[in-house]
Amino acid sequence: MLLYNTLGRELQEFIPVEAGKVGFYGCGPTVYNYAHIGNLRAYVTHDVLARTLRARGFDVRHVMNITDVGHLTGDNDEGDDKMLKSAEERGKNVLEIADFYTKAFFTDTDRLNIIRPTIVCKATEHIDDMIALIKRIEANGYTYFAGGNLYFDTAKFADYGKLALLRSEEQKTNARVETDNNKRNSRDFALWFTKSKYENQALVWDSPWGRGYPGWHIECSAMSMKYLGEQFDIHAGGIDHISIHHTNEIAQSESSTGKSPWVRYWIHNEFLVLGRDKMSKSTGGFLTLQTLVDRGYDPLDYRYFLLGAHYRSHVQFSFEALNGAKHARRSLCDRVRALGKKWEKGRKADKTVSSDVALSYLAKFNAAMDEDLSTPRAFAGLFGLLKDAGKGEIDPSAALNVVFQMDEILGLNLRRLIEKDKETSGATDSVDDEVKAAEIKEIEEKIAERAAAKKDKDFVKADAIRAALKAKGIILEDKPNETIWRKLI
Ligand code: AMP
Ligand code: ZN
């Protein structure tokens, strides 16, 4: 199996530390808000990777953290504390916020048929592990204390920046951009904050450096090594994590253990973009999975949409494209259902064909997945198989068997479709869905009316339509080529 390793920037044969086993850590969510559909792209990627490895017979231990302390709005220690800010805005305490959004996160990942990680670990429950790790880093001489905080001294770690290909000259001469004057070098980062950063931090713990709380990066080093050992196989996250978060994780882990490489394969997914912008939680302009559901999509339409692109390519989100995915998935479900009916009736193929043809499609599918998880090419294997099976050229039971094997990786719930025929695709049959469809049609008509008013420069009418929709809890957002809407949650 080949994986594109960010460390080395090339496709590499996957060879685990221990034969037959895989230690895999994927950076989890910061639970101060709902996950947006861009974040969910990262978790679908982790899921496809874990499923593929399992399908190849590996015993995968997948660990994911929940960040419920220490993450500031800027990944480099700048800005506000995300959890604290969210709690203040919502009039709740930090733990209530963390609990609410953690549950919301798993509701979303369950709906996307993402298999839950083997171990989910919360930062606030691993403070002792973080303190122990920081002590090791300190004992090895990689820290300094300034202004009440303990910092990692990046100049002391010769390999700093190897993942992001940062040049050391650049690193040294990098002008100070942040407001933290305690830092000797702009890339240095906090391992432990005391009250110097926030007088009123909600959650604080005693430590050798004073009462305070951990920096964001240390949790991933501490928890991954606790559950996967000091050197493990795969670490994943979005590409935004390469230059700061993952770079700092490597510095912490390798300086504490003296072992390199800490992680063998670094897997990074590209961004989901909306219009010209990367979707982002902190800027507020984001869509949630629930928004898509409110607009009549099945969460699996979104999963299908994501699988249609390679995880390392930019994906431009639009409702037009999502519609395409929705129809394609329904047609896939219909074809699988038809195959199920043939199989139920025990009808054999017209021509006698052995299961070799089905297996050749499976081989095609597997070859694509084994080449850096190439889902778009893998789909070609699935569609080819369904086409031939539809023509009666493959025995239905052999074909279905292969479809199910492919779906172990794709995760589109195709087996359940056969087992419970009414699931997923026939959604528009129910009364509820008819009401929803009528509601959606009305909103879309209003948006079209508003677009026409704007074209005629009748801004009073356009604003009135926006206000009327807002009163019903429908928020409009104008993008370069379309207006998108979401329901207030
Ligand atoms: P966060 O909760 O902000 O720490 O992000 C969770 C995960 O989502 C991380 O792996 C990020 O790299 C990833 N991510 C953030 N924004 C996007 C985006 N627009 N598209 C794809 N992945 C993203
Ligand atoms: Zn992390």
pLDDT digits (tens, 9 = 90+) for 112-132: 999 999 999 999 999 999 999
How many A from CA of 238 to the centre of ligand 1? 5
pLDDT of residue 41: 98
Averaged pLDDT, 453-465: 92
Atom 14 in ligand 1: which residue has the minimum CA distance? 39
The CATH number of residue 78's host domain is 3.40.50.620
If asked whether residues 47 and 181 sit together in one domain, one would say yes
Cα–ligand 1 centroid distance for 373 (angstroms): 19
Give me the number of domains the chain comprises: 3
Domain boundary among the residues 206, 241, 269 is at 269
Cα(340)–Cα(349) distance, rounded to whole angstroms?
Answer: 13
pLDDT-based confidence at 277, cuts 50/70/90?
low
Amino acid at 123: A
Q: Name the closest-CA residue to atom 23, ligand 1.
A: 39
pTM, two decimal places: 0.85
**Boundary (domain end) residue, out of 390, 414, 429:** 429
38 lines ligand 1 (CB under 6 A): yes
- Ligand nearest, relative to CA of residue 71: 1
Confidence at residue 132, expressed as pLDDT on a 0 to 100 scale: 98
Instruction: Give the pLDDT confidence score for residue 257 in this predicted structure.
Output: 98
Question: Which atom of ligand 1 is nearest the CA belonging to 238?
Answer: 12
Nearest bound ligand to CA 220?
2
> Is the same domain home to 454 and 361?
no
Q: Which ligand is nearest to the CA of 216?
A: 2
Ligand 2 mean position, distance from CA 246 (Å): 7
Atom of ligand 1 nearest to the CA of 35: 2
- Within 8 A by CB and 6+ apart from 220, the residues are 25, 27, 65, 245, 249
Residues 66 and 97 in one domain: yes
Among the listed ranges 334-338, 411-415, 469-473, which one has the minimum average pLDDT value? 469-473
Atom of ligand 1 nearest to the CA of 315: 20
Kindly state whether residue 175 falls inside one of the protein's structural domains.
yes
Distance of CA 38 to the CA centre of its chain: 7
Q: Is the pLDDT of residue 434 over 70?
A: no
Residue in the block written with tokens 């969510």: 29
pLDDT reading at 344 higher than 90:
no
Q: How far is CA 66 from the centre of its chain?
A: 13
The residue range of the domain holding 479 is: 433-487
108 φψ region: left (φ > 0), alpha (ψ -120 to 50), beta (else): alpha
Q: Which pLDDT belongs to residue 453?
A: 93
pLDDT value at residue 480: 73
Report how far ligand 1's centroid is from the alpha carbon of 335 (Å). Answer: 34
> Which numbered atom of ligand 1 lies nearest the CA of 29?
2
Q: Please report the pLDDT score of residue 477 as a whole number.
A: 83
From residue 357, give the alpha-carbon distance in Å to each of 333, 353, 415.
Answer: 21, 8, 21
Quick check: CB of 281 below 6 Å from ligand 1? Answer: yes
Q: Which atom of ligand 1 is nearest to the CA of 40?
A: 8
In a domain, 282, yes or no: no
- My answer on whether 315 and 419 are in the same domain is yes
Span from the CA of 220 to the centroid of ligand 2 (angstroms): 5
Q: Is residue 329 part of a domain?
A: yes
Same-domain status, 166 and 18: yes
pLDDT tens for residues 18-28? 999 999 999 99
Segment 192-208 mean pLDDT: 82
Tell whether ligand 1 has an atom less than 6 A from the beta carbon of residue 264: no
pLDDT-above-70 percentage for the chain:
88
Q: Is the pLDDT of residue 32 over 50?
A: yes
Amino acid residing at 145: F
76 and 91, same domain (yes or no): yes
Whether 198 maps to a domain, the answer reads yes
- Our answer on whether the CB atom of 237 is closer than 6 Å to any ligand 1 atom is yes
Q: Judge whether 446 lies within some domain.
A: yes
Same-domain status, 189 and 232: yes
Residue 281 lies inside a defined structural domain of this protein: no
Give the Cα separation of 78 and 317 in Å (integer). Answer: 29
Q: Compute the average pLDDT of residues 389-403.
A: 91
In a domain, 280, yes or no: no
Tell the residue nearest (CA) to atom 18 of ligand 1: 38
Within a 10 A sphere around the Cβ of 376, how many other Cβ atoms?
A: 12
Any atom of ligand 1 within 6 Å of the Cβ of 65: no
What is the predicted pLDDT for the residue at 424?
A: 45
Average pLDDT of the chain to the nearest whole number? 89
Looking at residues 177-203, what average pLDDT do you find?
A: 81
Q: Same structural domain for residues 407 and 467?
A: no
pLDDT bin (cut points 50, 70, 90) of residue 354 is low
pLDDT of residue 250: 98
**What Cα–Cα distance (Å) separates residue 109 from each residue in 102, 281, 312, 489?**
11, 17, 20, 18
Q: Which of 84-88, 247-251, 363-367 has the lowest mean pLDDT?
A: 84-88
Instruction: Answer whether the bond into residue 299 is a cis peptide, omega within 30°.
Output: no
Probe residue for ligand 1, chosen from 27, 39, 47, 97 as the CB with the greatest number of ligand atoms within 8 Å: 39
Kindly state the average pLDDT of the residues 321-331. 96
* pLDDT, position 88: 84
Q: Indicate if 214 and 190 belong to the same structural domain.
A: yes
302 within 8 A of 264, measured Cβ to Cβ: no
Residue 172 predicted with pLDDT over 50: no
Quick check: CB of 41 below 6 Å from ligand 1? yes
Task: Among 234, 269, 304, identify where a domain stops.
Answer: 269
Please say whether the beta carbons of 382 and 406 come within 8 A: yes
Of 77-81, 353-357, 418-422, the least confident: 418-422
What pLDDT shows up at residue 176? 43
Same domain, 342 and 265: no
> Cα of 287 to ligand 2 centre, how many Å?
23
Q: What is the pLDDT of residue 178?
A: 54
Give yes or no for residue 425 having a pLDDT over 60. no
Q: Note the pLDDT tens digit of each residue in 226-241.
A: 999 999 999 999 999 9
Mutate which of 40, 106, 240 for ligand 1 pocket (most atoms within 8 A of beta carbon): 240
CATH number of the domain to which 387 belongs: 1.10.730
Find out whether the peptide bond into 261 is cis, omega within 30 degrees of 0. yes
Tell me which ligand sits closest to the C-alpha of residue 311: 1
| Residues 123 and 244 placed together within one structural domain of the fold | yes
pLDDT score for 361: 97
Same domain, 23 and 169: yes
Q: What is the pLDDT of residue 199?
A: 67
pLDDT, residue 349, reads 47
CA 398 to centroid of ligand 1, rounded, Å: 39
Residue 128 belongs to some domain of the structure: yes
